[in-house]
Amino acid sequence: MGETTRAQGAVPPRGGAAEAAGRALAGAAPDGGAAVRPGTPADAVGGVRPAYVAAPADPAAAAAVLAVAAEHALTVVPRGNGTKIDWGGPPRDCDLVLETTSLTGIEHAVGDLVVRAGAGVPVADLQAALGSAGQRLAVDTVVPGSTVGGMVATGLSGPRRILHGPVRDLVIGMTVLRADGVAARSGGAVVKNVAGYDLGKLHTGAYGTLGVIVSVTFRLHPVPPALRLLRAAAPGPEALREWAAAVLHSPTAPSAVELDWPPEGDPELAVLLEGAAAGLDARGAAVAAVLPEPPHHADALPPGWGELPGAPGDTLLRVVAPPPEAVRAAAVLRDAGRARGILAAVRGSLGTGVLHAAVPADAPPEAVAAVVAAARAALAGAPGGAVTVPHAAPPVRAAGLDLWGEVPGAALMRAIKDRFDPGHRLSPGRLMEGI
């Protein structure tokens, strides 16, 4: 045990060294296993343009590319379809973008309700393949176009997480390439398994700072026979909070209890029920019974269900708080925005207390900082409460907004980063100070 990383203490390439690194990358995988080209402005990660983009054809080629990157002390940012590539902090440096889109392949063990998928598989393709067998990965589409690797690396989960847990609860195994290119697997292909550390948990939501995800094994669920969506507009946040609490307290076993609060107007509660068609009337009635007026209902999900609020490019705030506090924090956040001429849309899970707020991309950075500060202050005493900024519009980023706030356990996280990536070459700076 105890391999060391070759990159430790090495100097990043400049001038002739950069060319040598480029040549070495091109020859990293035999038989053109990894196409390498110079980076273009369109490849920029959070405004940082990479020197090279490599698209390895398979995991072995990806490992070879990473090994060469380690030898030449290149900083590396993995990229799937790039839908969230400008999320997180801008990398301190980015020599190489490693594109995972060729790491495809879906192995569906239907009878075991398990699937293994390559990091580059589009989540929509995976869902389509599973759906044909009456199964699904119980994660909603939060950002359309995501790959499996991108979804897991950003740890994005949607409304159904109150029943099935966030995406990390569905990951049962993972293969990751370390900073030195060595492949390491944790977990396995069976749902129940406690052998060894569950390192997949660390990589989920790590923004590629600890390794490059190559493939992920998920547990699956049967697609329920029917669904019903109930929606009701609340006169204000306090009423909405009470309604949500009452629904969650009812034995109706909702798959989702969501808040949808457009930039202007009243907040709306949405309750998703899934299961036997014969049971939906009774369950729907039980939900309606705790609401002052009969809700609207539909037997299909509207377009855009579960997606983030706002428009692409907006600054995105993530509010994580004990469910009762989450709505209050959202209200504080909106009020703080309105006082500064910013109208924020809020959406998210009331059952778990994870909400996203979208602030228009052109909002003045000082005003955005004030809104974030107000929301953080509102959650000061709430156990586990946190406000982060998964995506900052370029001016906000440039103004140096603290995207993460105070993160409990940060010292342990830095210690883990130092062991896994001693040269700090993997997505440096994308996740928190010093990581």
Partner 1 sequence: MPVPVGPEALVPRLRAICGDAGVLTDPAQRRTYESDGLTYHAELPGVVVLPTSTAQVAAVVRLCAEEGVPFVPRGAGTGLSAGALPRSDGVLVVTSRMRRILEVDVEARCAVVQPGVANLDVTRAAAPHGYYYAPDPSSQQVCSVGGNIAENSGGAHCLKYGFTVNHVLGLEIVTPAGDVVRLGGKVAEAPGYDLIGAFIGSEGTLGIATEITVRLLRAPERVRTLLAAFPTMDAGGRAVSAVIAAGVLPAAIEMMDALAIEAAEAAVACHYPKGAGAVLIVELDGPAADVDAQFAAVTALCREAGATELRTATDAAERARIWKGRKSAFAAVGRISPSYIVQDGVVPRTALPEVLRRIADLSAESGIRVANVFHAGDGNLHPLVLFDDAEPGAAERAAEVSGAILDLCVEHGGSITGEHGVGVDKACHMPDMFSPADLATMDLFRRAIDPAGIANPEKLLPTPRLCGEPPGVRTDVHPLVASGEAELF
User: Among 49, 185, 328, 338, which residue sits at the site for partner 1 (rule: CB under 8 A)?
Assistant: 185
- The answer to whether the beta carbons of residues 347 and 261 sit under 8 Å apart is yes
- The answer to whether the beta carbons of residues 179 and 5 sit under 8 Å apart is yes
CB atoms closer than 10 angstroms to residue 24 = 18
Stretch 369-428 residues interacting with partner 1 (CB under 8 A): 382-386, 388, 404-405, 407-413, 415-416, 418-420
Over the window 215 to 234, marking each residue x when it contacts partner 1 by CB under 8 A and - when it does not, the resulting string is x-----xxx-x---------
Distance of CA 249 to the CA centre of its chain: 28
Residue 150's nearest CA partner among 54, 42, 77 is: 77
Q: Is 327 in the site for partner 1 (CB under 8 A)?
A: no
Sign of CA dihedral 244, 408, 390, 140: negative
User: Among 232, 321, 357, 375, which residue sits at the site for partner 1 (rule: CB under 8 A)?
Assistant: 321
Give the whole-angstrom CA distance, residue 55 versus residue 36: 6
Closest distance between partner 1 and the C-beta of residue 58, in Å? 7
Q: 134 or 235: whose CB is closer to partner 1?
A: 134
Closest distance between partner 1 and the C-beta of residue 1, in Å? 4
- Phi-psi region at 291: left, alpha or beta (left = phi > 0; alpha = psi -120 to 50): beta
Residue 240's nearest CA partner among 342, 319, 330 is: 330
Q: 129 or 382: whose CB is closer to partner 1?
A: 382
Stretch 7-46 residues interacting with partner 1 (CB under 8 A): none
Give the whole-angstrom CA distance, residue 146 versus residue 141: 8
Q: 105 or 313: whose CB is closer to partner 1?
A: 105
- The answer to whether the beta carbons of residues 372 and 401 sit under 8 Å apart is yes
Closest distance between partner 1 and the C-beta of residue 346, in Å? 16
Q: Is 205 in the site for partner 1 (CB under 8 A)?
A: yes
Closest distance between partner 1 and the C-beta of residue 434, in Å? 11
User: Among 276, 289, 298, 377, which residue sits at the site for partner 1 (rule: CB under 8 A)?
Assistant: 276
User: Among 96, 216, 354, 401, which residue sits at the site for partner 1 (rule: CB under 8 A)?
Assistant: 354
Stretch 44-83 residues interacting with partner 1 (CB under 8 A): 58-60, 63, 67
Q: Is 303 in the site for partner 1 (CB under 8 A)?
A: no
Sign of CA dihedral 32, 8, 18, 430: positive
Over the window 93 to 132, marking each residue x when it contacts partner 1 by CB under 8 A and - when it does not, the resulting string is -----------xx-x-x-xxxx---x--------------
Q: Which residues contact 39 (CB under 8 A, 6 or more apart)?
A: 49, 50, 51, 52, 53, 97
Measure the N-to-C terminal CA separation of the chain; round to a whole number of Å: 24
Closest distance between partner 1 and the C-beta of residue 414, in Å? 9
Q: Which two structure tokens, joined as six digits, stand for 16?
A: 């002739």
Q: 297 or 338: whose CB is closer to partner 1?
A: 297
Helix (H) or strand (E) holding 282: helix 277-289
Q: How big is the site for partner 1, counted in residues (CB under 8 A)?
A: 103
Q: 36 or 202: whose CB is closer to partner 1?
A: 202
Sign of CA dihedral 202, 203, 205, 207: positive
Over the window 146 to 165, marking each residue x when it contacts partner 1 by CB under 8 A and - when it does not, the resulting string is ---------x-x-------x
Q: Is 335 in the site for partner 1 (CB under 8 A)?
A: no
